[in-house]
Structures are given as C-alpha cells and as structure tokens.
C-alpha cells in the first residue's frame, strides 16, 4: 500500500467498501457498456442488500453509472440526476450464491440496445473486483486495462487479437480463455499494461467470428 | 519498497540524519516513481480536502438512519459557554471529531484516514492546531507524512479495516497516526514520534467493531472522539519523555494477533457487541420499516 492508500481516498461517505467501492463498480460498468446506460437493473446481494440503503450503496452504484467519481458531492442526489438524464433504474434484493458478501449484479442497456451484465464485488478500502461479465467468470481488478472478446470457438481468433495488441505495442499482463463447448461460444479475457485505442476496438468488432468486444480502459475518471 | 517496520524508518533516519517525515516522503518518491514536488502536491491536496471537509459540516444534516447528526454543533454551543471540564481547546478537538464523523455518515465528502469510519481523528487534532496558529500548512503537510508512514507500517504488519481486525484497526490505527503527527508538529524527536504512536494504539487495543445495523454511525462517530483525545494525551506523554514499554512494531504485531483472535461477530458484521444489544436490535427493526 502506498501512503495515499493510507491517507485517502477523498470520497463521499459513509463507507469505503459500501459507498466508494460501489461508485467504482458503477463506473466500471459504464465503461464496459461504453456509454451511460438508458436502463439498469441492479441486484444487491449479501451485505450490499442488508445494509446498502443505509450506506447509500444504491445511490452510489447509480452515481457510478452516470460517470460520477467517488468524491463527487452529487452522489447522494444520483437518483434525481439519473431521472434528468433519462436513465431508468430498478433494484432487486437477492442473494447471489457463492458471491463475495459485498456484491452487485448490474444489467445495463445503452440506447442502441447493446447490453452487458456485470457482477462485481467491493473488497474494502474502495478496491473492487469484476467477477463476471455476461455470466462468464473473469475476475479482473479494474486496476489494469482489460479487453474481453466473445468469439466463435474457431482457430485463429486469439492470434488475431494478440497480433493486433502486438502491433499497437500493448503488453499483455494476463490472458484467459474460456468456451462453453468445442466449436461453440468462446471468451478471451486479456489484461494489459496499456490502454487499447478505440480504433483497434472498432477493427476487432468487424472481424468475422468475433461477436462482441468489451473494453475497460483506465482514464481520468478512475481518479 | 514501503517500510515494514518503524524501526526501519528510525534506522534510515539515524543513518542519513533525516527527520521522520523525510524518510516517508523519500520512500514515496521511490515507490511511486514521483518527484518530491509531485508527492508534496498530493499531500497538500489531502490537507486541503480535509480542511474543506471541515467546513462542509451542516448541523441540520441527519444520517440515513437519523441516528447521527447535530452533535458537533451541540459541543460547539456548550464549549462557547466557557464552562467545560476539558477546556476550550480539547473541546474543539471533540467537536471536530464529531463533525467529521457526522459528515461522513451524512454522505459528505471526507478524506479516509485510514478509513472512512475513522475519518474524524486526524482532522480533529490537526484542524484546531492549524486554526489556533500553532502550525503552518507546510508543517501540517509534513506531519501528514509522519501519520501516513505510521499507518503504512500498521497496514503492513497488521490491518486497517474493521472487518479484518475490529475497531482497533480503524480508530486505533488513526489514533496512533494522529499521536505521531502531533509529536512531530510539536518538535518531538523521531523516537518520541514512535513512542506516541505506540502508546496511542496500546490504549485502544482490543476495541471491537460493532456498528448498530451495520452502519458507520453508532458507535463509530463518537469513537472518533476517543481516538482524537487519546492521541492528544499520548502525544503529550511522549513529549514529556515517557516511553512506550513495548516497542511500536511489537504493539502493531499484538494488534494483529488480537484482531485475528477477535470473534467474527465483533468484526463489522453488526452481529455482536453494541449491535447485538436490545436497543441495537430495536433500531435494526425500526430501519426495516
């Protein structure tokens, strides 16, 4: 831990895990969607469900979806801001089996109909972990950029993605591959040391056999 | 590499002829690959954010559960009548600790130090010190490095989260950091800084994390007062030349051991201690409706 993990973060209270961490979960979800959602269905699990309202966890998650950072003094009024921006949101209180005590599942849609489902947990001190994306276990910390590619389970797609990264001088930190069955749907989860340019993401989306590209770049709004 | 022991910091200071804060500042430059100016700028920003948080208090604000709010204002009113037990200055400390804790509970912007629940301790001792003209911004920023250095060692040898080690890991750690900062501000030696930190944590060893309804409100807000007042007393003891019989690093290790032995119901689960009292449970029932 560096000294500004000890003194800091500057945040809206009352809890680093239930408030600041929840804002970050919302922010990461917005980034994974690529836009402020027009609709969000949020499931609060475990301690997020039990004590979340008292900690403002619900308002913090919506604030993050709107792009607010953990120190934004508008967090307590995020519901009103969401209404102003035309974002529809609802909450479900339900325990997600096997999940960390501070977990939320955010299903979000943008205006074009694109959707992602992000299950994430708040680990304490404002640190978070994205456990699942669209039901697939990915376990990325959101402290590094991440690229998640859904593709058909065919030869060559990993090579296409990794050579694109090599071409852009992006170093791979971790790489994990999953598939539901041979020749079925596959997912690759790549954590990198550098952000991935938007143009490369656009190119990837057009590659045959690649069905969905989701990216988490680090930027200003991560604070 | 961050310091793993205060003995390591003291050793560095002795060998290089440095002050405590310089050892922490230089380590931060090395660890995060930043310049002295960049590191100092960030620390000034933290101090600035603390001062700003101090001014954002609203006496009418109430927390989500309505259990918390207006208490700092009550102390202010009482203090201004001029007939207190602890005197005007210590009542300013009490007032600031309550106000910051209440602001946190009311979703205002605060500086976690080291946690949101313990965010009132450091400002409670530093803001009155600054406002009474005893220290400049520069001196307080230096003292924040001292506090951060102590906090960093506590985090590496033990923990700084109630869920991991009880309230001793939050208010206890904050109090230890605050005592060290105060000794530094009053011109104490590096060794006195460390004795102040050790004594402050010793006094709060074993403190459990038992928040009513799991909220950062009761007893968290008032425990910020305990942390701040304890820090003042321990800093004065250290400056008087009193040493901690147990070296600071061993006190931190003891905090870890105590935290690990602490029953899970006493580690931020809201299931034991004050949270499990008849009144605590009644409040839980009330909040459900």
Distance between B215 CA and the closest CA of chain A, angstroms = 6
pLDDT tens sequence across A11-25: 999 999 899 999 999
Q: Please check whether residue B249 lies inside any domain of the structure.
A: yes
* Cα angle value A187/A191/A194 (rounded, 5°): 135
Q: What is the pLDDT of residue B156?
A: 94
Q: Tell me which residue range forms the domain holding B138.
A: 6-288
Considering only CB atoms, A14 lies closest to which of B24, B155, B216, namely: B216
Q: What is the mean pLDDT of chain B?
A: 96
Cβ-Cβ contacts under 8 Å, A2 against chain B: 2, 28, 31-32, 152
Find the helix or strand (DSSP H, E) in which A210 lies: strand A210-216
- Residue B247's CB: how many other CB atoms inside 10 A? 16
pLDDT tens sequence across B95-128: 999 999 999 999 999 999 999 999 999 999 999 9
Q: Which two tokens stand for residue A78?
A: 């995020």
Give every residue of chain A whose pLDDT is below 50, as ranges.
Answer: 222-223
> For chain B, what is the domain count?
1
Partner-chain contact A11 B116, CB within 8 Å = yes
Cβ-Cβ contacts under 8 Å, A49 against chain B: none
Domain A146-222 adopts which CATH fold?
Alpha-Beta Plaits (3.30.70)
Q: Does residue B161 have a pLDDT over 60?
A: yes
pLDDT tens sequence across B7-64: 999 999 999 999 999 999 999 999 999 999 999 999 999 999 999 999 999 999 999 8
Mean pLDDT of B224-247: 98
Share of chain B above pLDDT 70, in %: 99
Q: Please check whether residue B1 lies inside any domain of the structure.
A: no
Cβ-Cβ contacts under 8 Å, B43 against chain A: 7
Strand partners, A177: A188
Distance between A215 CA and the closest CA of chain B, angstroms = 26
Q: Which two tokens stand for residue B159?
A: 């923990």
Q: CA B220 → CA A114, B58, B93, B223, distances in Å?
A: 43, 18, 16, 5
Considering only CB atoms, B144 lies closest to which of A7, A9, A15, namely: A7
- Report the residue of B216, B264, B267 to disrupt the A interface, i.e. the one with the largest count of A CBs within 10 Å: B216
Q: Which residues of A touch B (CB under 8 A)?
A: 1-17, 19-20, 47, 50-51, 53-56, 59, 71, 73, 75-76, 124-126
Helical segments of chain B, H only? 6-16, 20-32, 36-55, 71-80, 87-105, 121-131, 137-157, 162-165, 171-185, 190-204, 220-239, 248-261, 278-288
pLDDT tens sequence across B118-127: 999 999 999 9
Full-model pTM:
0.90
Q: Sorting pLDDT into bands at 50, 70 and 90, what band is B269?
A: confident
Considering only CB atoms, B116 lies closest to which of A5, A13, A59, namely: A13
Q: What is the pLDDT of residue A128?
A: 93
Cβ-Cβ contacts under 8 Å, B46 against chain A: 4, 7-8, 10
Q: What is the pLDDT of residue A156?
A: 95
Q: Please check whether residue B276 lies inside any domain of the structure.
A: yes
Q: What is the pLDDT of residue A222?
A: 43
- Domains of chain A, residue spans: 3-140, 146-222
Q: Which CATH superfamily is domain A3-140 in?
A: D-3-phosphoglycerate dehydrogenase; domain 3 (3.30.1330.90)
Least CA distance to B153: which residue of chain A? A1
Partner-chain contact A7 B116, CB within 8 Å = no
The CATH number of the domain where B161 resides is what? Answer: 1.10.4100
Least CA distance to B284: which residue of chain A? A51
Q: What is the pLDDT of residue B1?
A: 58
Cβ-Cβ contacts under 8 Å, A16 against chain B: 112, 115-116
Residue B237: name the closest of B186, B195, B270, B189 by CA.
Answer: B195
Residue A50: name the closest of A103, A122, A109, A125 by CA.
Answer: A103
Q: Does residue B204 have a pLDDT over 80?
A: yes
Range of lowest pLDDT (B132-146, B149-163, B192-206) = B149-163
Partner-chain contact A12 B111, CB within 8 Å = no
Partner-chain contact A3 B163, CB within 8 Å = no
């Amino acid at each position: 831990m560096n000294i500004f993990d000890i003194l800091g973060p500057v945040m809206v209270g009352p809890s680093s895990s239930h408030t600041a961490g929840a804002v970050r979960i919302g922010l990461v979800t917005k980034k994974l969607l690529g836009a402020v959602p027009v609709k969000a269905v949020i499931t609060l699990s475990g301690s997020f469900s039990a004590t979340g309202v008292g900690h403002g966890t619900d308002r913090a998650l919506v604030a993050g979806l709107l792009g607010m950072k953990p120190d934004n003094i508008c967090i307590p009024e995020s519901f009103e801001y969401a209404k102003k921006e035309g974002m529809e949101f609802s909450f479900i209180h339900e325990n997600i089996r096997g999940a960390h005590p501070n977990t939320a599942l955010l299903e979000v849609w943008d205006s074009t109909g694109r959707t992602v489902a992000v299950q994430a947990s708040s680990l304490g001190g404002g640190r978070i972990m994205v456990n699942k994306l669209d039901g697939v276990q990915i376990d990325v910390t959101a402290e590094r950029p991440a690229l998640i590619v859904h593709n058909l389970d065919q030869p060559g797609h990993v090579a296409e993605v990794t050579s694109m990264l090599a071409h852009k001088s992006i170093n791979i930190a971790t790489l994990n591959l999953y598939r539901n069955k041979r020749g079925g749907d596959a997912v690759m989860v790549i954590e990198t040391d550098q952000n991935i340019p938007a143009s490369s993401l656009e190119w990837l989306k057009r590659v045959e056999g690649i069905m969905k590209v989701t990216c988490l770049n680090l930027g200003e709004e991560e604070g | 590499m961050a310091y793993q022991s205060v003995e390591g910091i003291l050793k560095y200071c002795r060998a290089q002829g440095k002050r405590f804060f310089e050892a922490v500042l230089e380590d931060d430059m090395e660890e995060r690959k930043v310049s002295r100016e960049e590191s100092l700028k960030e620390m000034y920003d933290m101090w600035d954010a603390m001062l700003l948080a101090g001014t954002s208090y609203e006496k009418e604000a109430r927390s989500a559960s309505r259990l918390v709010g207006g208490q700092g204002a009550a102390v202010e009113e009482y203090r201004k009548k001029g007939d207190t037990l602890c005197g005007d200055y210590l009542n300013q400390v009490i007032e600031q600790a309550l106000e910051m804790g209440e602001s946190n509970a009311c979703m205002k912007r605060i500086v976690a130090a080291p946690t949101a629940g313990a965010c009132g301790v450091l400002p409670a001792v530093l803001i009155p010190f600054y406002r009474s003209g005893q220290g400049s911004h520069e001196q307080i920023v230096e003292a924040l490095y001292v506090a951060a250095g102590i906090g960093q060692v506590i985090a590496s040898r033990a923990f700084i989260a109630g869920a991991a080690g009880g309230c001793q890991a939050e208010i206890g750690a904050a109090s230890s950091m605050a005592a060290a900062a105060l000794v530094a501000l009053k011109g104490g030696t590096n060794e006195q800084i460390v004795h102040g930190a050790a004594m402050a944590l010793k006094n709060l060893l074993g403190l459990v994390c038992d928040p009513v309804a799991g909220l950062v409100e009761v007893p968290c807000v008032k425990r910020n007062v305990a942390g701040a007042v304890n820090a003042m007393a321990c800093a004065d003891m250290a400056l008087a030349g009193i040493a901690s019989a147990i070296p600071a690093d061993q006190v931190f290790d003891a905090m870890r051991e105590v935290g690990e032995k602490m029953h899970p119901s006493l580690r931020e689960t809201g299931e034991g201690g004050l949270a499990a009292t008849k009144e605590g449970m009644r409040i839980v029932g009330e909040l459900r409706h």
